Amino acid sequence: MLLLSVSELTKHFGPDPVLDGASFEMRAGQKISLIGPNGSGKSTLLKIITGQLEADKGQVSLHPDTTIGYLQQHVELGAGKTVWEEASSALGHLKELSDRSLELANQIADSASLSAKETAELEAQYDRLQHKIHQVGAYNIDHKIDRILRGLSFDDAAINQPVDTLSGGQQNRLMLAKLLLQEPDILLLDEPSNHLDIDATEWLESFLAASEQAVLLVSHDRYLLDKVAQHTLELVNGSIDAYKGNYTAYLVQKEQRLEVQRRTWERQQEEISRLEEFVRKHKYGQKHVQADDRQKKLERIELVDRPRTISAPVFGFPEPDRTGDIVFRVEHLSKAYDHQLFKDLTFDVIRGESWGILGPNGTGKSTLLKCLIGDLEADEGTVHAGTGVRLGYLDQQLSCVDPKADVVDAVRPDHKEFFEKQRRDLLARFGIQDDMVFQKVSSLSGGERSRTALAKIAAADANVLLFDEPTNHLDLWARESLEKCLRAFEGTMVVVSHDRYFLNQVVDHLLVVQHDRFHVIQGNYTTYQTLEQAGLAQEARDTLGNNKSATKSDSVNLKQPKPTKPKPRDESRRTRKFPYRKVPELEQEIAKSESRIEKIFELLSLEQTLRDGELVKKYNQELQEVQSTLEQLYEHLEESLELN
């Protein structure tokens, strides 16, 4: 059943349109993701659908009696209720049914003074009400509330907490809980995983995927998009292109479409050039009749649009100076405020390693970063920084850039001379250019401020990066650029992030913090998931919780492909990394791998594949594995050519 139809929407904020003929349809139960660069109009589109904004042109049509629930990025709650009471208010209509049922039951119990007819009428009302209650599940109100609140990481203490004492992130989670409890026909979710820890995000993924409601999801979380979405809408330059499947399937189809569009456009441009050249040469010569005919043909050509691509800035950090072998030595570190954040942390960060810190909200991940940089003193334990360490620290508030300064001045490093042209060139690499560099930092969007802060860290020549949620405010394309940049960075990195895809791309160690215990994983987030599923992570937590320390011997290690991160090559060492093999054997294996990659791309282009999200995911996983093997084979071949 068609629930929602959006037709030819146009909306201006100034001379250029934010939406320019945007159209799509939504049917009952469909799960659709809406993606596009920051500022492309995604939130504007949602507000027009809900009636908060009016379109300049176009139409939004809803099926009669269709209900819409909208989760905005920024919300506020009133005071005077606990979290449980505020969540319960979302089910007020069910509470009324339950209360009315109890009232009728009491009246029937006290019906001795009533006539048989009056009693029969009460019993009939009660029976009808019971049927309705069973239909809508009104007897399960408390269970529903408890399941959703706990799924979104509200524990016993938080459930009974007054609403007016909640942080902004907790308020957003409570609003999401209320929206899920209301069960509208269409859920419009604008960045629902903001302020959620990884456990809550994974719970939300499963909840939405299993829900019978239609969902229109705006998110920059690639795993969330892959788990939930069955269709993908790309909003760029004001218009919408539709794709079948989740985000991974979209990437494959997008590349295929671009290739077809590129070839079509290039062929037409070649034809236009050929016709124009003929007209130019023969317009006034003996072949002027043919030239006139070519001119008419030119005028009749319906121009093909140039392929529309989404470009992202190419981030980059300079080659870092060398530090000592041990960058951070953390011993028996503990910190508490009104509750224990972390306790007895012990670990070493070695030069060239990339560490991710993850854990539930409230376990002190940001606090730990502040202890590492020396901004905060721990209650117990010590942090020793190695020699030659020059820190680049990015907090969630982006406080490294002065909001009152012009952008071009805000990135000026403190310890060296850095001329304006150098600063402007650097900012351009991070997508901040033209007149934007002379604006105040405070006037920038969240994504622009984040890129400005990253540019300042690049200007400071840091060799150790400490980032707290660096993907906040960045769209999908900027995140990919940051991932590539950090994989190429040859220094040391410690990053706090709830972005699982990001962690998989950039880290080779994980510190998992859980209040009174912790453990170290040698690997990325996929490694951690594998250990969790195998039950090894729980065993590791129990062991480390008893030992109260995590040195290299305590850490959990599962062999798996690590993120590619270039390391400086020591030319003085000619020892083998790989076992001896003949060059022809390696070349034969390389040919087989390349052939398999071509076959996978062919399979991914088939329509029946693109309709099956699980199959797309399977082929993409195999593609990553074969590409990783191919990289190893090329490296092995290079070594064999040099040393055989």
3-class secondary structure, 14: coil
220: which DSSP letter?
S
What pLDDT does residue 340 have? 86
Going along 525-592, which residue ranges are E strands? Answer: 556-557
Residues 6+ apart with CB under 8 A from 622: 600
C-alpha–C-alpha distance, residues 288 and 366, integer Å: 76
Residue 543 has pLDDT above 60, yes or no: no
The 10s digit of each residue's pLDDT in 228-270 is 999 999 999 999 999 999 999 999 999 999 998 899 999 999 9
pTM score:
0.76
Phi-psi bin for 110: left (phi > 0), alpha (psi -120 to 50), beta? alpha
Query: Does the pLDDT value for residue 445 go beyond 70?
Result: yes
Least Cα distance to 621 among 564, 537, 561, 532 occurs for 561
Q: Is 465 exposed, middle or buried (0-12, 13-18, 19+ CB in 10 A)?
A: buried
Question: Which tops the pLDDT comparison, 607 or 244?
Answer: 244
Distance between alpha carbon 38 and the CA centroid of its chain, in Å? 13
> For 215-347, where are the alpha helices, taking DSSP H only?
222-228, 247-282, 288-300
Residue 531 has pLDDT above 50, yes or no: yes
- Residue 637 and residue 588 in contact, taking contact as beta carbons nearer than 8 Å: no
Question: Predicted confidence band at 557 (pLDDT cuts at 50, 70, 90)?
Answer: very low
Q: Where is average pLDDT lowest: 110-124, 127-141, 325-339?
A: 127-141
Max mean pLDDT among 6-10, 136-140, 253-257, 522-526 falls in: 6-10
Of 87, 84, 78, 95, the C-alpha closest to 177 is 87
pLDDT grade for 544, boundaries at 50, 70 and 90: very low
Give the Cα separation of 232 and 250 in Å (integer): 7
Mean pLDDT for 493-511 is: 96
pLDDT score recorded for residue 338: 82
Helices (H), 28-112: 42-50, 83-88, 92-109
Would you say residue 295 has pLDDT above 50? yes
Q: Residue 80: pLDDT band by 50, 70, 90 thresholds?
A: confident
The neighbouring-strand residues paired with 240 are 235
Is the CB of residue 243 less than 8 Å from the CB of residue 249? yes
Pick from 603, 498, 627, 525: nearest CA to 249: 603
Q: Is the pLDDT of residue 271 over 60?
A: yes
Give residue-wise pLDDT tens across range 120-140.
888 888 888 877 776 666 667
Q: 3-state SS string over 463-484? A: CEEEEECCCCCCCHHHHHHHHH
pLDDT at residue 551 greater than cutoff 50: no
pLDDT for 443 beyond 50: yes
Determine which of 4-13, 31-40, 120-129, 206-215 has the lowest per-residue pLDDT on average.
Answer: 120-129
pLDDT at 607 over 80: no
Going by pLDDT thresholds of 50, 70 and 90, the confidence category of residue 553 is very low
CB 358 within 8 A of CB 198: yes
- Please say if the pLDDT value at position 568 is more than 50: no
pLDDT tens digits along 404-437? 999 999 999 888 888 999 999 999 999 998 899 9
Structure-model confidence comparison of residues 473 and 118, the more confident one: 473
The mean-pLDDT minimum among 153-167, 247-261, 476-490, 607-621 falls in 607-621
Q: What is the mean pLDDT of the chain?
A: 86
- Residue 575 binned pLDDT confidence (cut-offs 50, 70, 90): low
As beta bridge partners, residue 495 has: 356, 467
User: How far, in Å, CA of 417 to CA of 425, rounded?
Assistant: 15
pLDDT band at 570 (very low <50, low <70, confident <90, very high): very low
Residues 6+ apart with CB under 8 A from 415: 460
Percent of the chain with pLDDT over 90: 57
* DSSP state string for 148-188: HHHHTT--HHHHTSBGGG--HHHHHHHHHHHHHHH--SEEE
Residues 8, 11, 14, 17, CA torsion sign: negative
Report yes or no: 471 and 499 within 8 Å, Cβ to Cβ.
yes
